Amino acid sequence: MGTPSALSYAQRLGISGDVVVQEIGWDEDAETAISEDIEDAIGCPLLDEDATELCDVVLLWFRSDDGDLVDALVDASRNLSDGGKIWLMTPSPHAPGGVQPGEVSESAKLAGFVPTKVDRLGSWQGACLTSTSVKK
């Protein structure tokens, strides 16, 4: 545990209260403390990748060998509510499976998202992506 003044992972991700969060791409290398902290903050389990209900946030774990990042982002957005966001979690660029920041930006743009915040969370890089289209 960090110092009492340190922000929790959920606080750093802007997740609290009655937010519905879906987790996609979790594997044994993912930072379990991030998922657990989010569950504590929202008071319920995260939806798994097979869930079909609308969610406010998608926590997407992605490694360079997971396939095409644009496709992963498009797939991850299928249950995203209007105004929802994707937190794309990638290993740091120089770690195994790491994704370069330029690839994150370009893939986000092609998938209809824009990075609005970047943060280092444990051994992972987090990029908050919001939709560039306004749904009415």
Q: What is the pLDDT of residues 81-99, one digit of tens each?
A: 999 999 999 998 889 999 9
Report which of 81, 15, 22 is spatially closest to residue 42, judged by C-alpha positions.
15
Q: Where are the chain's structural domains?
A: 9-131
Q: Give the predicted TM-score (pTM) of the model.
A: 0.92
Contacts by 47-54, CB closer than 8 A, 24 or more apart: 47/20, 47/21, 47/22, 47/23, 47/79, 48/22, 48/23, 49/22, 49/23, 49/24, 49/25, 51/22, 51/79, 52/79, 53/20, 53/79, 54/20, 54/79, 54/80, 54/81, 54/84
Q: Are 114 and 133 in contact (CB under 8 A)?
A: no
9-131 is a CATH 3.40.1080.10 domain: no
pLDDT (tens, 9 = 90+) of the chain, 136 residues, equals 444 457 899 999 999 999 999 999 999 999 999 999 999 999 999 999 999 999 999 999 999 999 999 999 999 999 999 999 999 999 988 899 999 999 999 999 999 999 999 999 989 999 999 998 754 4
Q: Which residue has the tokens 């946030």?
A: 57
